[in-house]
Amino acid sequence: MTAAISFDNSYARLPPSFYARVLPAPAPEPRLVKLNRALAEELRIDPEALAGPAGLQFLAGNAVPEGAEPIATAYAGHQFGYFVPRLGDGRAILLGEIIGRDGVRRDLQLKGSGRTPFSRNGDGRAALGPVLREYLVSEAMAALGIPTTRALAAVTTGETVARERTLPGAVLSRVATSHIRVGTFQFFAARGDVESLRALADHVIARHYAEAANAAEPYRALLDEVIRRQGRLVAQWLLVGFIHGVMNTDNMSVAGETIDYGPCAFMDAYDPATVFSSIDEHGRYAYGNQPTIAHWNLTRLAESLLPLLAEDQEQAVATAREALARFPEAFNEAYLAGLRAKLGLSEAREGDLALAQDLLDRMAANRADFTLTFRRLCAAARDPAADAELRALFEDPSAYDGWAARWRDRLAEEGGDGAAREAAMRRVNPALIPRNHLVEGAIEAAVERQDFALFEQLLDALMTPFEERAVHAGFYDLPPQAQGYRTFCGT
């Protein structure tokens, strides 16, 4: 059987200035490391065929599946605040689009499959470690219910790539509702190419924001909706302790999905100033700075859209300002709703944010583990006997006691069934996130010893993040004291 894939490539039908046609570079000795069978089925691709010899050739870039139209897309972007007018897919090739079983159109992209006209000085390659990191973290995000690109497969190429040292090369097959970025809009805006800008906006509306097409001002509606989705997305990140690490405008999807997992990581002890990325020297992309940066990036999107928002420049600026002013509301609403759920509060009351903030402040002052604090609150909501395990997470355990009294008063005001509350809290407070030491351990075993067992186990555990399963016992524990953890770019 061949791995038949039904492509329908709407992006490749856009004008030639949107992309460069390019073929993936072949891999000398491809080997399948991991296939996401469930995702293949959602995409109506036969997983058996994809795991077979013909499928492996596609996943490695050695053969282009029938119906695919490989392109590298053009985009610009602000990297750490500085504008670069031409970035584009330097190490990724979009094979085409597939309509899934759910009727949703998705991109299938190979990441790490060779040079493109956008590679600049890069080799267009990816190393196995970052490919596995993206696989683990993006699939974990999906299981946590957070919008994200997905990992369809990881293959090793049989080639080495030169980084700080020589590493095994790999290709990640990535799936996204689209790979259109804020930087894609910036690309055309910077060139003053309003016609292309309009074609791009129309494409994005048709693909992601169908309701906007019927609005009185479709481009304003598009901007509003991107702002709303991005606000909600960043709130969801904060609620699980996720740090993207490199929120450049070229790494922000206009579809509202988490995209481009480079130096991303989850924090263990709660500290809003947490930064892991080695290149983020000034903490621009620190955990607690992410809402501000999302707003900054959306401002760049709004600027790019100005020519479409109104004929009159002043009117366009006023419209953009109005839309951007709604970002804090979009973020705060989602963040506060999420915090309430994490604390087991089902009614909205004045003072809820202050109550949550008080806990977070005490956690920060006492280096309390973010994930475990909230997870252990689940049991404590039903039975104060569970407090002992919670207190132990705080350097000064009495810091918890003071807050818990306030919290219990608030829970009592609301009333309700303790067991039901605990169950609801367990559905929003994960027992497991891809902790740095676990991800590093899995990557190291794979890269240094070709041992993928830990990767498989961790991935399996991460698929059910709200459940502690006995087979995965050690994963749910506090991490060993990790100081100065650093992550690196270079997928």
- Could you give the residue numbers annotated as active site? 250
Binders of ligand AMP among 362-401, rule CB under 6 A?
Answer: none
Q: Is 299 in the site for Mg ion (CB under 5 A)?
A: no
90 forms part of the interface with ligand AMP (CB under 6 A)? yes
Binding mask 113-142 for ligand AMP (x = CB under 6 A): -----xx--xxxx-----------------
Distance of closest approach, residue 250 Cβ to Mg ion, in angstroms: 5
Tokens 């367990």 correspond to what residue? 426
Q: How far apart are CA 219 and CA 198, in angstroms?
A: 9
A 10 A CB-CB count for 8 gives 12
Which of the residues 202 through 241 are near Mg ion (CB under 5 A)?
none
Among residues 295, 73, 85, 78, the alpha carbon closest in space to that of 188 is found at 85
Rule CB under 6 A: say whether 262 interacts with ligand AMP.
yes
Please report whether residue 182 would count as binding ligand AMP according to CB under 6 A: no
Q: Does 89 bind Mg ion (CB under 5 A)?
A: no
Nearer to ligand AMP, 10 or 119 (CB): 119
H or E, element range at 333:
helix 327-343
What crossing angle do the helices spanning 290-309 and 218-240 adopt, rounded to 10°? 170
Indicate the residue among 57 and 251 with the shorter CB distance to Mg ion. 251
Identity of residue 51: A
Out of ligand AMP, Mg ion, none, which partner does residue 384 contact, by CB within 5 to 8 A per kind? none
139, 174 contact by CB (below 8 A): no
264 is a site residue for ligand AMP (CB under 6 A): no
Q: Read off the tokens for 277.
A: 């990325």
* Closer residue to ligand AMP in complex, CB, 76/339: 76
Distance, CA of 134 to CA of 418 (rounded, Å) = 38
Q: Is 243 in the site for ligand AMP (CB under 6 A)?
A: no
For the chain, give percent helix, strand, coil, nearest 5: 50, 15, 35
For residue 91, state whether it binds ligand AMP (rule: CB under 6 A).
yes
Question: In whole angstroms, how close is the CB of 118 to ligand AMP at the nearest point?
Answer: 6
The verdict on 78 binding ligand AMP (CB under 6 A) reads no
Site stretch for ligand AMP (CB under 6 A), options 88-96, 230-238, 308-316, 324-332: 88-96
Minimal distance in Å, beta carbon 359 to Mg ion? 35
Residues 338, 344, 350, 355, CA torsion sign: negative
Least Å distance between CB 142 and ligand AMP? 19
Among 260, 280, 369, 387, binds Mg ion (CB under 5 A): 260
**Is position 88 an interface residue for ligand AMP (rule: CB under 6 A)?**
yes
User: Is 356:407 a contact under the CB 8 Å cutoff?
Assistant: no
Q: Which residue from 45, 246, 252, 308 is in contact with ligand AMP, where contact means CB under 6 A?
A: 246
Residue nearest to ligand AMP (CB): 122
Residue (124 or 465) nearer to ligand AMP, CB: 124
Please give, one letter per residue, the 3-state secondary structure of 191-226: CCCHHHHHHHHHHHHHHHCHHHHHCCCHHHHHHHHH
* H or E segment and range at residue 403: helix 398-414
Cα separation of 113 and 173, whole Å? 10
User: In 113-248, which ranges are continuous DSSP H helix?
Assistant: 128-143, 182-190, 194-208, 218-240
3-state secondary structure 144-174: CCCCECEEEEEEEEEEEEECCCEEEEEEEEE
Q: Is 253 in the site for ligand AMP (CB under 6 A)?
A: no
Angstrom distance (rounded) from CA 302 to CA 215: 18
Q: Select from Mg ion, ligand AMP, none the partner in contact with residue 90, using the beta carbon and a kind-dependent cut-off of 5 to 8 Å.
A: ligand AMP
CB burial class (10 A; 0-12, 13-18, 19+) of residue 181?
buried
Q: Which range in 244-252, 371-379, 433-441, 458-466 contacts ligand AMP by CB under 6 A?
A: 244-252
Applying CB under 6 A, the site for ligand AMP has a residue count of 17
**Residues 6 or more apart whose Cβ sits within 8 Å of residue 107:** 11, 94, 96, 97, 174, 175, 176, 177, 178, 179
Residue 30 binds which of ligand AMP, Mg ion, none (CB < 5-8 A, kind-dependent): none
**Neighbouring C-beta atoms of residue 80, cutoff 10 Å:** 13
- In angstroms, rounded to a whole number, what is the distance separating the alpha carbons of residues 377 and 386? 8
Residue placing its CB nearer to ligand AMP in the complex, 249 or 319: 249
Residue closer to ligand AMP, measured from CB, 90 or 416? 90
214 alpha carbon, distance to own chain's centre: 29
Min CB(120)–Mg ion separation in Å: 13
* Residue in 57, 173, 178, 248 binding ligand AMP, rule: CB under 6 A: 248
Among 96-104, 203-211, 244-252, 348-356, the segment contacting Mg ion (CB under 5 A): 244-252
The 3-state secondary structure of 283-334, one letter per residue: CCCCHHHHHHHHHHHHHHHHHHHHHHHCCCHHHHHHHHHHHHCCHHHHHHHH
Name which position in 251, 253, 299, 371 contacts Mg ion (CB under 5 A).
Answer: 251
**For ligand AMP, which is the closer residue by CB, 108 or 246?**
246
List residues near Mg ion by CB under 5 A: 251, 260
List residues near ligand AMP by CB under 6 A: 87-91, 118-119, 122-125, 246, 248, 251, 260, 262, 489
